[in-house]
């Protein structure tokens, strides 16, 4: 469980630890909520987030995920932002912990044969 290490989260972390429930504290830093969501927007754009599709309504998300998706997609024009906080923190934590990587897309004019034609080797200089 990941809990924000600020305000009420500090007491919650302590309570969970006393109850021997595994918990990780997370400090989101000084960025505001809009900035924190922007920091992880590339993860969504890269297609690394899967949203379950409804089994009886093709093209729509499952009912239990609809509120979360709506809130995140409507942010910052929403009344509540709890899902936004949880989503941005989870994505950033997974990325920073090395569980989620985003490979930069190749340039539009990228052709792997260009390296061969130019005699450029793409070896890892740090390999043994």
Domain ranges of the chain: 1-28, 31-103
Provide the token pair at 8: 């009420």
Q: Residues, the chain, total?
A: 128
- Strand-pairing partners, residue 24, are 2
Q: How far apart are CA 30 and CA 81, in angstroms?
A: 17
- Among 38, 47, 45, 46, smallest CA distance to 76 is for 38
pLDDT score for 128: 44
Give the pLDDT of the chain (128 residues) as one tens digit per residue.
899 888 889 999 999 999 999 999 988 888 899 999 999 999 998 888 989 999 999 989 999 999 999 999 999 888 999 999 999 999 999 998 888 887 766 677 777 676 665 555 555 555 44
pLDDT score for 68: 93
Q: How many CB atoms lie within 10 A of CB 126?
A: 5
- Strand-pairing partners, residue 4, are 26
pLDDT score for 117: 58
């Amino acid at each position: 469980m990941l809990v924000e290490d600020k305000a009420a989260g500090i007491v919650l972390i302590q309570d969970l630890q006393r109850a021997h429930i595994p918990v990780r504290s997370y400090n989101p830093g000084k960025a505001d909520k809009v900035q924190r969501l922007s920091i992880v927007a590339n993860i969504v754009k890269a297609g690394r987030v899967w949203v379950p599709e409804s089994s009886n309504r093709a093209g729509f998300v499952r009912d239990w995920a609809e509120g979360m998706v709506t809130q995140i997609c409507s942010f910052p024009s929403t009344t509540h932002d709890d899902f936004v906080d949880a989503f941005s923190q989870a994505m950033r934590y997974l990325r920073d912990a090395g569980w989620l990587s985003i490979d930069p897309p190749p340039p539009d004019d990228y052709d792997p044969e260009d390296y061969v034609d130019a005699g450029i080797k793409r070896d890892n200089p740090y390999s043994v």
